[in-house]
Amino acid sequence: MLHRFLIVSALNTVIDIAVFNLLFLFAENSKSVLVFSIIKAVAFTFAVTNSYIWNSRWTYRETNMASRNLGEFAHKFGRFYAVNLTSLALNVSAAAIAFYFVQDMFSSHFISSNLSALVGSLSGMVINYRGYKKVFSGI
Give the H or E element holding residue 126: helix 125-137
Average pLDDT per run of 10 along the chain, which is 139 residues long? 89 94 84 90 93 86 61 81 91 94 87 92 87 79
pLDDT of residue 27: 85
In 16-102 the beta strands, taken as DSSP E runs, fall at none
Q: Would you kindly state where each structural domain of the chain is located, as residue ranges? A: 2-137
SS3 category, 86: helix
Report the predicted TM-score, pTM, of the whole model to 2 decimal places: 0.78
